[in-house]
């Protein structure tokens, strides 16, 4: 008997290049395409109206395209785990297909459904089509760990076979004699809900700048490629005032919801490149937008804590400030910096902002100005940004806040200068912050510096009609650069609760870079410059630049270990005040020369075992850094127990 | 339990220290001697003291605390002064920080049992004033100690600045007066003042080697001069530009003074155009370099473009330069002319014109330049290649944001990557940011 199939849509909201959907149809009697408005995605209330609308439009489009094939979309209210068993029975299902979800929670959910299906005697077929590659293969190629730098990722990719070709679009031919039983009351039972039905107030809601759906996505990709062909330039376009605005060739939300297949995009780009350039091998940079996404999916797929700082093995722990008022000002576009506020307004209104604009607001919130946790920013983006995907959103925030992936942190985007460089005239500001319309270009990025007469003429008094800047950027960035340095210095050397360990300003591993206080016993070796700053490295010790060099360091080990290696001896802190100060602490006699020596020699000669150990040590350190109350209490308990333990044991014995 | 006890006993055999005898179990719990012999070989409790200590030195406090509950012997080791030489107090409030604080009981334990052992102490406080005040309270209890290294670190905002000055100063001077052998002090962003520095000098002038006090607004040039005059062992100093004077440089260059190794200067302006920056005489810089030829002079600039006027008009022996805000082409041009000792240059932002000429001049004249970082600037690919060729292999740090490089007829980004890699003899890429 030919099977009855269900294809389960989650992402991958399309009929083109949908291999799992084809599997559902292959040789089947019936197929039903279902979508759950489930708590894993749809049910969570922290999605904004734009994201909901985009999703519903995708579903509408999917339904209308299925109708053309005499089929329908079944939108099912409920949770998959609860509803599937009933559907399996009711529809006599023997095959379930869906697209592979690489994200940890998706994997967990899918594993549960698979189990459930198997118990019901339903065959499950899963196909990869949301990413270009099988991410597990990339990880395997990297020795079992996800690559943690984009360069390393590129290297791995270049060693792999090109992605698989997209499969054919679903058509009547492919459908063959496979049908979808549709009941009279389909619309009532399984129709796509409206925004009102979901409880949104849509009065005054402007029409969507980014309409959802596969049909729109396919129109856009054609326009996108036409434009590329027209400019015949395959490099990343330089940013200008125009690129800040939503473009009818923009694709990111469509890739996010899978209205557009990344593989289709990949191969269309390749074809076009070959046609225009007449060469056969396009550079990897051609696929930048796709590969970054792939990079973050890879980094996240085995890390359920990818969207957290605590307990996330690749995330540097940074003592972010908790400041709900400041966070609200940022999220609600009331920072007093027109550049930041205009971007945040655009994000809220339209659901999309240019990637450099994302850099600007993310830097401002985190390491640049407000020193607020990237997790908070990520949540706001999760609510507002159409293309925010769990992996890509968290990964990008970690990146932009310098919490992972080894970037330099020396540069903070200036909330005044960056905008002015991009859009000197300030039209972007005037579009999204009409209150500032009257300001001349000269002052539109820093209206608080405008003379009273200018403010009066603009009919906008700063501090009355538009807020004063919430921080002094120069001062904040000075402080924050110092904080960052402090953190990276500690990372490089820090062991145990001692923190007191910091960056070695020495390459000569014997621990005598220990400089001042503790060096007492060795004061002989410790005199002038070379001893202190470690000979050859002496001239580096004022540096703020981190040396995360290249490939060799991107071994299979975890990030902390790499951080240790890389920061450990390449990164020279600033004048070393810190470093020296803390170095003292590490390198004092107790730490022992082997210890520091080891660190300084880790290079590549470390055995796997040792690497694991150092990872663990750093994990432990994270624990102590966090000094979770529980642990602390334990210590306190332990110590206090021991204070009296002499007594106890003597009593016992 | 029985086995445990008999183990304990069997560990002690030859060493026979008094302490350990207390843990010897009464005879009735002992099993046959052959059995206990076996157990001896299997157990950890009889590791020699110094071995346990050695292991403990590699453990975090948490792990040490856990390990110390294994047996009394390990617990003895837990309290060995050596293990309490360094401590970091973390003081945070739940409302302002995601991080937890050092437990109050533990703090009390340390003050009671280990204060006299502390040598390397730091305080990390969050943005809340209470945390900074708590740090001051602990400081003022450190009466019986010989601290060598003291660090006061604000992890988010400079919250020590919110503590009343008298509270802060009295707490700090407790340590200054009692320790008498302070060697390294980091008190950036605190309300430390001239009188407290005097106390520092009066008690620690022979030992002080490092003083980091950027952004301490209550210190005057005279206050820091007093430190330089009397602490002849001072090798590292960090301060703001307004404290830097000709007299200070001369004091640091006096015959009695050891060679200075690091001098870090923050040049900060709070209100655009309102701060007038003084100049330092070339003769003062020259004196410093004559006295300390190896000294690193690190300058961090957070100025508005128009405020750069007084800087680098004459030869300046700066080695590391960081421009946190936009800096003019003109200024970068002067750096090429007047900073022959320059080792590292970081430019976070600049105007819209390419910096080709300026970079090439820097490559030409700054022969020690080994590191450069460029943020929001522009350089043509050809200009950049020229710069890299002139510097060649000595550039061991080349951190250039991708957007900085403007492709031209000679090179596009791909070509730049391979050409620069060729010049440097290693794989090089511009710094990329996610396209997202």
Say if the Cβ atoms of B236 and A649 lie within 8 Å: no
Q: From the candidates A151, A475, A491, A496, which should be mutated to test the interface with B, based on the most B CB atoms within 10 A?
A: A496
Identify the residue with better confidence: A421 or A463.
A463
DSSP letters along A573-642, please? -SSSHHHHHHHHHHHSGGG-HHHHHHHHH-TTT--HHHHHHHHHHHHHHHHHHHT-HHHHHHHHHHHHHH
Residue B369 neighbours by CB under 8 Å, 6+ apart: B342, B343, B344, B345, B362, B363, B391, B394, B395
Report whether A235 belongs to an annotated binding site: no
Report whether A389 belongs to an annotated binding site: yes
ipTM of predicted complex: 0.85
Say if residue A649's pLDDT is above 90: no
Strand B184-186 and strand B86-91: pairing?
A: unpaired
Q: Which two tokens stand for residue A160?
A: 């792999």
> Which residue is listed with tokens 């000669």?
A605
User: What pLDDT, on a 0 to 100 scale, did the predictor assign at position A553?
Assistant: 37
Say if the Cβ atoms of B68 and A547 lie within 8 Å: no
> Which residue is listed with tokens 């994302």?
A358
Residues of A in Cβ contact (< 8 Å) with B319: 539, 542
Grade residue A237 by pLDDT with cuts at 50, 70 and 90: low
Q: How far apart are CA B110 and CA A132, in angstroms?
A: 56
Q: How far apart are CA A383 and CA A332, in angstroms?
A: 13
User: What pLDDT, on a 0 to 100 scale, did the predictor assign at position B41?
Assistant: 59
- Phi/psi of residue A148, nearest 5 degrees: -115, 0
Say if residue A629's pLDDT is above 90: no
CB of A551 closer than 8 Å to CB of B52: no
H helices present in A385-472, as ranges: 390-400, 417-422, 427-432, 441-444, 452-457
> Which residue is listed with tokens 């994997």?
A107
Q: Which two tokens stand for residue B357?
A: 């000429």
User: How does pLDDT run across A332-361, given as a tens digit for each residue?
Assistant: 999 999 999 999 999 999 999 999 999 999
User: What pLDDT, on a 0 to 100 scale, did the predictor assign at position A258?
Assistant: 97
Report whether A295 belongs to an annotated binding site: yes
Q: How far apart are CA A398 and CA A406, in angstroms?
A: 10
User: How does pLDDT run across A130-147, given as a tens digit for each residue?
Assistant: 999 999 999 999 999 999
Instruction: Return the top range by mean pLDDT from A15-24, A634-643, B15-24.
Output: A15-24
- Phi/psi of residue A172, nearest 5 degrees: -60, -35
Cα distances (angstroms) measured from residue B414 to each of A160, A218, A284, B399, B406:
20, 30, 10, 16, 12
Pairs across A and B, CB distance < 8 A: 380
Q: pLDDT in tens for each of the 436 residues of chain B?
A: 344 443 433 333 344 344 444 444 444 444 444 444 555 555 777 788 888 888 888 888 878 888 888 888 888 888 888 888 889 999 999 999 998 899 898 899 889 888 889 999 999 999 999 999 999 999 999 988 889 999 999 999 999 999 999 999 999 999 999 988 899 999 999 999 999 999 999 999 999 999 999 999 999 999 999 999 999 999 999 999 999 999 999 999 999 999 999 999 999 887 766 778 999 999 999 999 999 999 999 999 988 888 888 999 999 999 999 998 888 889 999 999 999 999 999 998 887 788 999 999 999 999 999 999 998 889 999 999 999 999 988 898 888 988 889 888 888 888 888 899 999 998 888 888 888 7
Q: How far apart are CA A602 and CA A193, in angstroms?
A: 58
Q: How far apart are CA A442 and CA A628, in angstroms?
A: 50
CA A410 to chain centre: 20
- As a whole-number percent, the residues of chain A with pLDDT over 70 amount to 72
Of A310, A543, A624, Cβ closest to residue B344? A543
Q: What share of chain A is helix, strand, coil (3-state, %, to 5)?
A: 55, 5, 40
pTM value > 0.90: no
Query: Which SS3 state, helix, strand or coil, does residue B157 take?
Result: coil
Strand B344-349 and strand B371-376: pairing?
A: parallel
User: What pLDDT, on a 0 to 100 scale, did the predictor assign at position B139?
Assistant: 94
Chain B interface includes A497 (CB < 8 A): yes
User: What pLDDT, on a 0 to 100 scale, did the predictor assign at position B75?
Assistant: 84
CB of A463 closer than 8 Å to CB of A455: no
> Which residue is listed with tokens 């490092």?
B210
How many C-alpha atoms does A457 have within 13 Å on its Cβ side?
9
Q: How far apart are CA B5 and CA B9, in angstroms?
A: 6
Question: How many CB atoms within 10 Å of residue B421?
Answer: 15
Say if residue A208's pLDDT is above 60: yes
What does the DSSP 8-state code read for residue B277? P
Say if residue A476's pLDDT is above 60: yes
Chain A interface includes B19 (CB < 8 A): no
Query: Which SS3 state, helix, strand or coil, does residue B87 take?
Result: strand
Kindly state the average pLDDT of the residues A571-588.
31
Say if the Cβ atoms of B127 and A323 lie within 8 Å: yes
Q: How far apart are CA A188 and CA A72, in angstroms?
A: 13
Identify the residue with better confidence: A44 or A246.
A246
Q: How far apart are CA B169 and CA B142, in angstroms?
A: 14
User: How does pLDDT run across A73-122, given as a tens digit for each residue?
Assistant: 999 988 899 999 999 999 999 999 999 999 999 999 999 999 999 999 99
User: How does pLDDT run across A391-446, given as a tens digit for each residue?
Assistant: 999 999 999 998 987 777 778 888 998 899 889 999 999 999 999 999 999 999 99
Q: Which of A54, A21, A225 is nearest to A127 (CA)?
A: A21
User: How does pLDDT run across A37-65, given as a tens digit for each residue?
Assistant: 864 455 456 788 999 999 999 999 999 99
How many C-alpha atoms does B9 have within 13 Å on its Cβ side?
19
Q: How far apart are CA A200 and CA A191, in angstroms?
A: 17
Residues of B in Cβ contact (< 8 Å) with A486: 153, 155
User: What pLDDT, on a 0 to 100 scale, did the predictor assign at position B93?
Assistant: 95
User: What pLDDT, on a 0 to 100 scale, did the predictor assign at position A502?
Assistant: 25
Q: How far apart are CA A308 and CA A626, in angstroms?
A: 13
User: What pLDDT, on a 0 to 100 scale, did the predictor assign at position A492?
Assistant: 55
């Amino acid at each position: 008997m030919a099977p009855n199939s269900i294809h389960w849509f989650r992402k991958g909201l399309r009929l083109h290049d949908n291999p799992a959907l084809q599997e559902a149809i292959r040789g089947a009697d019936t197929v039903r395409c279902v979508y759950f408005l489930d708590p894993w995605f749809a049910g969570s209330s922290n999605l904004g109206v734009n994201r909901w609308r985009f999703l519903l439009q995708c579903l509408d489009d999917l339904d209308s395209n299925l109708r053309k094939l005499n089929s329908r979309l079944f939108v099912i209210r409920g949770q998959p785990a609860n509803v599937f068993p009933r559907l399996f029975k009711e529809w006599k299902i023997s095959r379930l297909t869906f697209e592979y979800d690489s994200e940890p929670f998706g994997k967990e959910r899918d594993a549960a459904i698979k189990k459930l299906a198997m118990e019901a005697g339903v065959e499950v077929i899963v196909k990869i089509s949301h990413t270009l590659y099988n991410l597990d293969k990339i990880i395997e190629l990297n020795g079992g760990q996800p690559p943690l730098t984009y360069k390393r990722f590129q290297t791995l990719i270049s060693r792999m076979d090109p992605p698989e070709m997209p499969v054919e679009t679903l058509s009547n031919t492919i459908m063959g004699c496979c049908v979808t039983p549709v009941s009279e009351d389909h619309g009532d039972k399984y129709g796509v809900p409206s925004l009102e039905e979901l409880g949104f107030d849509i009065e005054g809601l402007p029409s969507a700048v980014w309409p959802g759906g596969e049909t729109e996505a396919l129109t856009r990709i054609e326009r996108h490629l036409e434009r590329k062909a027209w400019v015949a330039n395959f490099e990343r376009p330089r940013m200008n005032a125009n690129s800040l605005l939503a473009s009818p060739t923009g694709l990111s939300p469509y890739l996010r919801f899978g209205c557009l297949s990344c593989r289709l995009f990949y191969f269309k780009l390749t074809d076009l490149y070959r046609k225009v350039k007449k060469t056969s091998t396009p550079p990897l940079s051609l696929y930048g937008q796709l590969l970054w996404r792939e990079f973050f999916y890879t980094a996240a797929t085995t890390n359920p804590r990818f969207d957290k700082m605590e307990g996330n093995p690749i995330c540097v722990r940074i003592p972010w400030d908790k400041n709900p008022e400041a966070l609200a000002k940022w999220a609600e576009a009331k920072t007093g910096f027109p550049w930041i506020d205009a971007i945040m307004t655009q994000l809220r209104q339209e659901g999309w902002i240019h990637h450099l604009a994302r850099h600007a607001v993310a830097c401002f919130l985190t390491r640049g100005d407000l020193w607020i946790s990237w997790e908070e920013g990520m949540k706001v983006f999760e609510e507002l940004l159409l293309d925010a995907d769990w992996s890509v959103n968290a990964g990008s925030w970690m990146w932009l806040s310098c919490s992972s992936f080894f970037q330099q942190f020396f540069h903070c985007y200036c909330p005044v200068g960056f905008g002015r460089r991009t859009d000197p005239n300030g039209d972007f500001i005037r579009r999204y912050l009409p209150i500032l319309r009257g300001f001349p270009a000269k002052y539109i990025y820093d209206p608080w510096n405008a003379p009273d007469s200018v403010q009066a003429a603009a009919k906008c008094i700063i501090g009355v009609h538009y807020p004063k800047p919430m921080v002094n950027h120069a001062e904040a960035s000075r402080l924050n650069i110092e904080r960052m340095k402090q953190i990276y210095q500690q990372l490089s050397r820090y062991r145990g609760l001692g923190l007191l360990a910091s960056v070695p300003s020495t390459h000569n591993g014997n621990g005598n870079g220990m400089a001042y206080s503790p060096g007492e016993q060795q004061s002989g070796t410790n005199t002038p410059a070379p001893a202190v700053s470690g000979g050859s490295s002496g001239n580096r010790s004022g540096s703020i630049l981190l040396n995360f060099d290249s490939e060799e360091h991107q071994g299979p080990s975890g990030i902390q270990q790499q951080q240790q290696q890389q920061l450990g001896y390449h990164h020279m802190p600033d004048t070393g005040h810190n470093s020296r100060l803390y170095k003292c602490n590490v390198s004092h006699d107790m730490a022992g020369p082997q210890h520091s020596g080891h660190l300084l020699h880790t290079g590549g000669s470390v055995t796997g075992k040792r690497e694991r150990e150092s990872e663990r040590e750093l994990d432990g350190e994270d624990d102590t850094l966090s000094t979770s109350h529980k642990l602390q209490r334990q210590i306190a308990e332990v110590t206090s127990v021991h204070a009296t333990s002499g007594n106890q044991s003597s009593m016992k014995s | 339990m029985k086995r445990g006890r008999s183990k304990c006993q069997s560990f002690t055999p030859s060493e026979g220290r008094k302490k350990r005898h207390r843990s010897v179990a009464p005879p009735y719990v002992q099993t046959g001697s052959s059995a206990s012999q076996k157990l001896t070989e299997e157990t950890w409790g009889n590791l020699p003291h110094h071995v346990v200590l050695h292991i403990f030195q590699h453990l975090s406090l948490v792990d040490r605390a856990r390990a110390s509950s294994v047996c009394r012997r390990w617990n003895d080791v837990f309290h060995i002064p050596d293990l309490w030489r360094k401590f970091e107090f973390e003081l945070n409030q739940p409302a302002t920080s995601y991080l937890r604080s050092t437990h109050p009981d533990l703090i009390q334990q340390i003050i009671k049992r280990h204060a006299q052992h502390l040598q390397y102490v730091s305080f990390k406080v969050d943005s809340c004033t209470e945390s900074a005040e708590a740090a001051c309270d602990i400081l003022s209890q450190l009466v019986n100690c010989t601290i060598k290294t003291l660090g006061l670190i604000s992890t988010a905002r400079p919250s020590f600045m919110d503590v009343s000055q008298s509270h802060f100063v009295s707490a700090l001077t407790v340590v200054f007066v009692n320790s008498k052998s302070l060697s390294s002090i980091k008190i950036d962003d605190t309300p430390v003042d001239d009188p407290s520095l005097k106390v520092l000098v009066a008690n620690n002038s022979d030992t002080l080697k490092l003083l980091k006090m950027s952004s301490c607004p209550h210190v005057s040039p005279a206050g820091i001069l007093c430190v330089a005059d009397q602490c002849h062992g001072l090798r590292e100093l960090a301060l703001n530009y307004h404290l830097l004077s000709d007299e200070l440089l001369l004091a640091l260059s006096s015959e009695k003074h050891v060679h200075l190794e690091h001098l870090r200067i923050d040049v900060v302006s709070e209100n655009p155009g309102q701060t007038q920056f003084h100049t330092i005489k070339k003769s003062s810089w020259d004196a410093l370099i004559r006295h300390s030829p190896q000294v690193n002079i690190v300058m961090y600039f957070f100025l508005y473009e128009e405020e750069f006027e007084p800087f680098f008009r004459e030869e300046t022996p700066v080695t590391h330069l960081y421009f946190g805000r936009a800096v003019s082409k003109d200024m970068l041009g002067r750096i090429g002319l007047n900073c022959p000792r320059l080792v590292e240059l970081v430019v976070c932002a600049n105007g819209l014109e390419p910096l080709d000429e300026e970079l090439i001049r820097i490559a030409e004249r700054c022969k020690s330049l080994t590191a450069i970082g460029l943020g929001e600037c522009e350089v043509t690919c050809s200009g950049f290649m020229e710069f890299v060729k002139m510097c060649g292999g000595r550039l061991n740090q080349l951190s250039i944001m991708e957007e900085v490089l403007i492709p031209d007829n000679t090179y596009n980004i791909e070509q730049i990557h391979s050409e620069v890699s060729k010049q440097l003899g290693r794989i090089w890429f511009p710094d990329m940011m996610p396209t997202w």
